[in-house]
Amino acid sequence: MDSRITARMLSLALGGWRTREPAYEALADGIRLLCLDNRLAPRTALPAERELAHALAISRTTVAAAYRSLRETGHIESLRGSGSVTLPLGRRVPPRDAVGVDDLDLSQASPAAWPGLAGIMSETALDTAALVARSGYDIVGSAELRTAIADRYTARGLPTAPDEVMVTTGAQSAIHLLAQTLLRRGERAAIETPTYPHAAEALRMAGARLVSIPVSVDAGWDIDRAAQAIARTRPAIAYLMPDFQNPTGRSMSLREQDVIARAAADAGTVLLLDETTGELAIDARAVSAVALADVPAVRIGSLGKTVWGGLRVGWIRAEPTLIRRLVAARPSRELGTPEFEQAVSVRLLRRMPEVLAQRALLLREGRDALVDALRTAVPEWRVPEVAGGVCVWVELDAPLSSGLVMAARARGLHLSAGPRFSPDGGHERHLRIPFTAPPEDLRRAVAILGDIWPAVRAAAPAAASTPWGAAVV
């Protein structure tokens, strides 16, 4: 077996798991959701029944019944003398949980490919004779692509030279490479909560101890908490999404940028700025200047959200000395980015104004359709206004996000519950809903949510279904 989760850590990951009765099925559903979200990796050893019962303050009988239910649905196996372990995806997800033809999968927040992409790929294919004469991949990135990326930063107010750019195989590859290069095991890394979950996973894989910086739809970044946390823990790095943060959709104000930049400088913390959603403005406005442009920072970008998730081209902008360190460290993970995709990307960057205009139109249609449908179908939920990005961070009127997501799966709707975006537990009152799908699909998804929500509320224990402001006694 590859890993083990303690009873305390599983308790934190489960959050508000008691969303329905009987309690053992609610617990089983909570663990199923952790498996489906990959927050519990395959072959993870679960705590012993007695230990988990103590951590959750429930009876051992309830835990035993939950484990039995998980065995019956193929999510875990239990061996005498070895305990219970989660099973690989193919075995632990029964056919009824698989994404079907008529299902709606909103667990990913990526729009369909930009309509002009196929044409650009065809144009690039005409040059394949020259491309196949080379190695086929590049560990630093082609000079032409690095120049094009540098020119875009310069045009947006951040003068950049090609030797300050490294091309990666998508943004996720960039995050992993930076985490493994900049972090030593046991060091602290600051990260927003809620946040992009795969970033938190990458930092943990590098051995980081995470320090949370709260960010909310209404109040933005909690700069007092951020400054105190950075000053107290002196993290080696701080991972932030300053524009159209995923999942809240918030963008940093100038004051928030200033406070966090000063705190990081005082603590010697390296800022890792994820800009993958930074240009996805929806409402009419000039293209914003680069956030924190006057601050030494490492920047991560990609074409995954702007063009197509299947185009695995990202980049890192950093000082040349760090770029050289990253190039030296990269071969242990991968040997480079495919040259064909880099050649496609060069052509795409020349047409980015056209790409972003189409993206703004598509995302505006999806956002407006989703917000209108939610406010009609479930008026008791708080649906924020967002000016860009790819999703809305909806606040439910009861902490039942996980239970709602499990109920939605039974109706063919796949979503990610609020705790999926929390590095340290919580956010059961929130649900991330992307608006990257076609408007008709979004309306159908909301119809399902509106239909099942009363049943989810009714099945929950009284304390779990308490609305805002109500006293719990």
Question: 259-268 pLDDT, tens per residue?
Answer: 999 999 999 9
Round to whole Å and give the CA distance between 430 and 395. Answer: 5
Which two tokens mark 10? 């599983």
> Is 375 within the bounds of a domain?
yes
User: Parallel, antiparallel, or unpaired for β 270-274 and 237-240?
Assistant: parallel
* Residue finishing a domain among 62, 97, 132: 97
Q: Are residues 131 and 178 in the same domain?
A: yes
The helix/strand/coil state of 195 is: coil
Q: Are residues 14 and 141 in the same domain?
A: no
Domain holding 401, by residue range, is: 104-112+354-459
With the CA atoms of 178, 184, 187 and 191 taken in that order, what torsion angle do they form, in degrees rounded to the nearest 10? 10
Q: Are residues 238 and 297 in the same domain?
A: yes
Q: Are residues 307 and 372 in the same domain?
A: no
* Residue finishing a domain among 67, 97, 127: 97
> Is 272 within the bounds of a domain?
yes
Write phi, then psi, for 228 (nearest 5 degrees): -65, -45
Name beta bridge partners: 240.
273
Q: Are residues 339 and 401 in the same domain?
A: no
Q: Are residues 161 and 242 in the same domain?
A: yes
Round to whole Å and give the CA distance between 233 and 368. Answer: 41
* Residue finishing a domain among 317, 352, 387: 352
CATH number at residue 362: 3.90.1150.10
Q: Are residues 212 and 238 in the same domain?
A: yes
Which two tokens mark 415? 């979503």
Q: Are residues 361 and 344 in the same domain?
A: no
Which two tokens mark 406? 């499990």
CATH number at residue 308: 3.40.640.10
Which two tokens mark 144? 């032409």
Q: Are residues 139 and 76 in the same domain?
A: no
Give the rounded distance of the alpha carbon of 422 from its chain centre.
10
User: Can you give the pLDDT of all 473 residues of the chain as single tens digits?
Assistant: 468 999 998 998 887 788 888 999 989 999 998 998 888 889 999 999 999 999 999 999 999 999 999 999 999 998 877 789 999 865 434 444 445 557 899 998 989 999 999 999 999 999 877 777 676 678 999 999 999 999 999 999 999 999 999 999 999 999 999 999 999 999 999 999 999 999 999 999 999 999 999 999 999 999 999 999 999 999 999 999 999 999 999 999 999 999 999 999 999 999 999 999 999 999 866 445 678 888 889 999 999 999 999 999 999 999 999 999 999 999 988 888 999 999 999 999 999 999 999 999 999 999 999 999 999 999 999 999 999 999 999 999 999 999 999 999 999 999 999 999 998 878 999 999 999 999 999 999 999 999 999 999 998 886 565 555 443 32
> Is 200 within the bounds of a domain?
yes
> Is 465 within the bounds of a domain?
no
CATH number at residue 50: 1.10.10.10
Q: Are residues 250 and 345 in the same domain?
A: yes
> Is 183 within the bounds of a domain?
yes
> Is 472 within the bounds of a domain?
no
Domain count, the chain: 3
Q: Are residues 82 and 148 in the same domain?
A: no
> Is 27 within the bounds of a domain?
yes
Which two tokens mark 283? 């409402």
Which two tokens mark 96? 């009824």
Give the rounded distance of the alpha carbon of 218 from its chain centre.
20
> Is 246 within the bounds of a domain?
yes
Q: Are residues 126 and 158 in the same domain?
A: yes
Question: 236-248 pLDDT, tens per residue?
Answer: 999 999 999 999 9
* CB distance 308 to 147 below 8 Å: no
Any idea what DSSP says for residue 281? B
Which two tokens mark 80? 């005498």
